[in-house]
Amino acid sequence: MAKNHHVVFKKRPGVNGEPAEDNFGYEECDYPSDPNTGEVLLKTLYLSIDPAMRCRMNPETGVTYIGPFQIGDCIGGFGGVGLVVKSANSAFQEGDVVSAVFNWQWTKFFLGTPGELFPLQKIDSSLVNGHISLYLSILSMTSGLTSYIGVKEKGHITQGANQTMVVSGAAGACGSLAGQIGKLEGCSRVVGICGSEEKCSFLTEELSFDSAINYKTQDVSSELQKLCPSGVDVYFDNVGGDLSNTVIKQMNTNSHVILCGQIAVYNKDVPYPPPIPDDIQRMITDKNITRDRYLVLNYQDKFESGMKQLVEWTVQGKIKVRETIEEGLENAGKAFVSMMKGGNIGKQLVRVAYS
């Protein structure tokens, strides 16, 4: 019988604590029994590694839509891609390649019940030229759909309107796609903010960003003044905190923040979205800047059309993706900790098995 392993949640980072590798444990566990009616036995091939997991690591998640991890439980992550090993569900057959956008277990083999809580779907690997990890790095809820729907619903971009877009967390999964989508949707200038020279070169040399700022070594405020001489019209915010306050100060009247994430404050135990300073809030009000909370989960009716558009752009070579792949389920915790510190370019994934 095949051996089985899983990743369990071992230890909370504690209030305002940074996640560490010893928060996770890699353990042998039972190989699942045969599926009961409605279930499928799955083999994990790839796991999606997502910042939102951080909020589940302490008892207070700061949000209402997901609960905390329990110590000793197997990690239930976000997306995954895998193979159906055995099926007792008429919608799936042995050998199907499948993906789910949430509740994929950090386990080599597990039983899943496809449905609302585990939205398992067959994937068409020919759409991505056999490169099935693209279902997590471009086509998933926490990558391309977040970027595409965020830009479309909250960006208010008009072709030919000469708008300038700024993206923070720009070399990550959502940011790298958001900037490219902003350009495709009609922004005349897209500036990315990220944490290394290598990431800046990736944005400007491999993707369609016009320029990039390394927030760790450059003065973001003066760089923005140089690179966005007409101010900022659209800000895709993955980061929050001081960095975002600096960007908001340079935003135009009637401009738009796409409030995607606030990773700079995820290690602080505050409710989401975290409070912003009074002077920034005043500026937002005085300049009529929109900054509504954005949660991709609230747009499930737009997933199908979003996927269609993302597949089309990918096949046409209009959007490019980078993946940072950590090998082995035993390294999933390490991959999460690394991503939270900026170790990834593009989407952070874990490859659990090749086939």
Which residues would be at the binding site for ligand NDP (CB under 6 A)?
A: 50-52, 142, 146, 169, 171-175, 194-196, 199, 238-239, 243, 260-264, 294-296, 339, 342, 344, 348
Q: What is the DSSP track for 33-94?
A: -PPPTT-EEEEEEEEE--GGGGGGSSS--SSSSSPPP-TTSBPB-S-EEEEEEEE-STT--T
- Please list, residue by residue across 285-302, b when 16 or more beta carbons sit within 10 angstroms of its beta carbon and e when fewer do: eeeebebeebebeebeeb
**Listed residue (206, 134, 144) closest to 174, CA to CA:** 144
CB of 149 to ligand NDP, least distance (A): 8
**Listed residue (299, 242, 241) closest to 273, CA to CA:** 241
Q: Name the burial class of residue 98, with classes exposed (0-12), middle (13-18) and buried (19+) by CB atoms within 10 angstroms of its CB.
A: buried
CB of 345 to ligand NDP, least distance (A): 8
Q: Which is nearer to ligand NDP, 84 or 247 (CB)?
A: 247
- Which one-letter DSSP state was computed for residue 115? B
Q: Which is nearer to ligand NDP, 109 or 294 (CB)?
A: 294
CB of 337 to ligand NDP, least distance (A): 11
Q: Which is nearer to ligand NDP, 100 or 260 (CB)?
A: 260
Structure tokens that stand for 13 in this block: 């980072």
Q: Which is nearer to ligand NDP, 234 or 260 (CB)?
A: 260
Give the separation between CA 70 and CA 66, rounded to whole angstroms.
12
Contacts of 239 (CB under 8 A, 6+ apart): 168, 169, 193, 261, 262, 263, 264
CB of 255 to ligand NDP, least distance (A): 19
Q: Which is nearer to ligand NDP, 124 or 198 (CB)?
A: 198
CB of 260 to ligand NDP, least distance (A): 5
Q: Which is nearer to ligand NDP, 35 or 261 (CB)?
A: 261
Under 8 Å between Cβ of 5 and 28: yes
Q: Which is nearer to ligand NDP, 43 or 199 (CB)?
A: 199
CB of 32 to ligand NDP, least distance (A): 29
CB of 295 to ligand NDP, least distance (A): 5
CA distances 243 to 218, 233, 238, 341, Å, are: 12, 17, 10, 16
CB of 316 to ligand NDP, least distance (A): 23
**Bridge partner list, 346:** 172
- Per DSSP, helices labelled H in the chain are 134-137, 146-154, 173-185, 197-201, 220-227, 241-248, 278-286, 303-315, 332-340
Q: Which is nearer to ligand NDP, 83 or 177 (CB)?
A: 177
Give the separation between CA 59 and CA 61, rounded to whole angstroms.
6
| Residue in the structure block whose two tokens are 């760790």 | 216
CB of 215 to ligand NDP, least distance (A): 6
CB of 212 to ligand NDP, least distance (A): 10
Q: Which is nearer to ligand NDP, 8 or 194 (CB)?
A: 194
Q: Which is nearer to ligand NDP, 41 or 194 (CB)?
A: 194
Under 8 Å between Cβ of 55 and 24: no
* 3-state secondary structure (DSSP) of residue 20: coil
